[in-house]
Amino acid sequence: MKFLLTIMIILSVGSAYACTEDGVGGFLPENDLNIPVGAKINGGLSEEQFNAVIDKVENIYAPIASNMGGTLKISRKWKDGTVNASATRLGWFWFVNMYGGLARHEKVTEDGFALVLCHEIGHHIGGAPKLGLQAGLGAWASNEGQSDYFGTLKCLRKTFLNDNNKAIIKKLNPPAALVSACSKAWVNEEDRAICIRGGMAGHSLAGLLAILGNRGEPKFETPDTAVVTKTDNSHPKAQCRLDTYFQGALCDVSFNEDVSAKDEVTGTCHKSMGHKTGLRPLCWFKPLK
């Protein structure tokens, strides 16, 4: 009886899906890719790496979700060959679905996979702008671009904080444009290393997005020049998403300064605050101020 009552309460609060406005998609645009366990691939993550990445991020964000009134539940679907990820809410339960097919893709690095998880958590706590009531999501979900931005602005910084980042980036062969930009944005050497590492995580995912979109691989030195007339809630194109990860990594606002569910300025780099670097790209974001 108590179980049935609990379910009724949860359903009365409502459920919804992200990453897309209609709730049918995920981190990536809809695709038919499926990479089963045992597939012969050149790259990707092992099951051990898959679980280690999730453990690391979950240990940080489960307590944060709890303090915000939610219960973070990450489903580890290693055996599922789906090349995607998604977030769901059911009452106070905040679900994230992480699939083995995505982790096994040759373009996905451990840091890239961590960034996908950060993106999905970002739907839950990534702040404004949000998808909105018109999408039938109860206005709980941060939109796609904001979830990307949150990933490098806050989540990866917390995730990488205690790592030997200077040693790690030596193995990544980062492009000169990324190294130069991070060196200008950050004075502290450790912050610079985290910036570079975050940028390379975004580069991993942008390469995957380019393959799915049949486009050339995005580059740090060739930002998307498009300017939207209103904020676009859907998946930005590959170059635009790389630009978003890049700018999130460059923003010098502390990762300990929380974003706001209602205010797009709080905890971010924003032109209204005089910031010149680390701004959300105009290829998807239209500032309200």
Residue 137 CA to residue 16 CA, distance in Å, equals: 5
Nearest Cα neighbor of 122 from 65, 174, 71 is 65
Residue 46 CA to residue 48 CA, distance in Å, equals: 5
Question: Dihedral sign, CA of 24, 27, 30, 35?
Answer: negative
Region label for 168, one of left (φ > 0), alpha (ψ between -120 and 50) or beta (otherwise): alpha
Domain boundaries in the chain? 14-127+141-273
pTM: 0.91
- Helix, strand and coil in the chain, % to nearest 5: 45, 10, 45
Residue 95 CA to residue 246 CA, distance in Å, equals: 27
| Burial category of 59 from C-beta neighbours within 10 Å (exposed 0-12, middle 13-18, buried 19 and up) | exposed
Residue 270 CA to residue 82 CA, distance in Å, equals: 36
| Per-residue tens of pLDDT for the chain, all 289 residues | 444 334 433 333 334 445 543 333 589 988 899 999 999 888 899 999 999 999 999 999 999 999 999 999 999 999 999 999 999 999 999 999 999 999 999 999 999 999 999 999 999 999 999 986 444 445 789 999 999 999 999 999 999 999 999 999 999 999 999 999 999 999 999 999 999 999 999 999 999 999 988 778 899 999 999 999 999 999 999 999 999 999 999 999 999 999 999 999 999 999 999 999 999 999 999 998 8
